[in-house]
Amino acid sequence: MLEFNGENEMEQSREELWPYFTDPDVLAECAPGCKEMILESPHEITAVLAVGVGSVKPEFEVDAVVTRLEYPEVLELAATGHAPRNEFEMTATMEMVETDDDGTIVKWSANADVSGTIVSLGSRALKSVTNRLVSKYFSDMQAVIEAGEGAESKLQAAPEDEADLDVQVG
């Protein structure tokens, strides 16, 4: 089990940021290696992500379900990804915390079970790559927000009976 977490401070309020972090079109634009992202329903997303870690460059087909959504504070996803000789299961949480100067600290965490050739790189390399990708994601997100591109919140939490997605991580 790999655990990742961090935080990113942004000038905008949670209410201003929320639509950007819950709009699949913006997420697809900002997610490093994202080749495709489709909103199958308000709580189901499929995506194709190409992630290069050293000499290993798998292209994952990802199924994600929004398991928890509390405007404008918490977004939680469960996801599985499959690529030739690689796969992962993960849960990811994003929490938006107001700062005293009306900005926001975006705290994020993820727990992932990874298997396949990508594991041979070791957890240190995977964490290093993950931190680099997350940093790029937040800088791209900041650029989209500052450019004033519109965003529309399109995600909803899955109904209780659909939130399981056969992902038992954690």
For the chain, the 3-state helix, strand and coil shares in percent, each to the nearest 5, are: 30, 45, 30
The mean pLDDT value for 1-30 works out to: 95
Q: What is the DSSP string of 140-168?
A: HHHHHHHTT--------PPPGGGS-TT--
The mean pLDDT value for 154-159 works out to: 95
The mean pLDDT value for 92-105 works out to: 97
- Name the least confident of 70-84, 85-99, 107-121: 107-121
The mean pLDDT value for 57-83 works out to: 96
The domain of 139 spans 2-153
In a domain, 170, yes or no: no
Is pLDDT of 67 > 70? yes
In a domain, 9, yes or no: yes
Distance from CA of residue 132 to its chain's centroid? 14
3-state secondary structure 37-68: EEEEECCEEEEEEECCECCECCEEEEEEEEEE
CATH of the domain at 60: 3.30.530.20
Which pLDDT band, with edges at 50, 70 and 90, does 163 fall under?
Answer: low
**Total number of residues shown for the chain:** 170
In a domain, 164, yes or no: no
In a domain, 12, yes or no: yes
**Degrees to nearest 5, angle at CA 122 with 130 and 53:** 45
CB contact set of 126 (below 8 Å; sequence gap of 6+): 2, 53, 114, 118
Q: What is the pLDDT of residues 36-54, one digit of tens each?
A: 999 999 999 999 999 877 7
Which pLDDT band, with edges at 50, 70 and 90, does 91 fall under?
Answer: very high
The mean pLDDT value for 130-155 works out to: 93
Predicted pLDDT of residue 167: 45
In a domain, 162, yes or no: no
Considering the chain, what is the average pLDDT of its residues? 91
Predicted pLDDT of residue 126: 84
What's the structural domain count of the chain? 1
Rounded CA-CA distance 28/2 in Å is 24
Predicted pLDDT of residue 162: 65
pTM of the model: 0.89
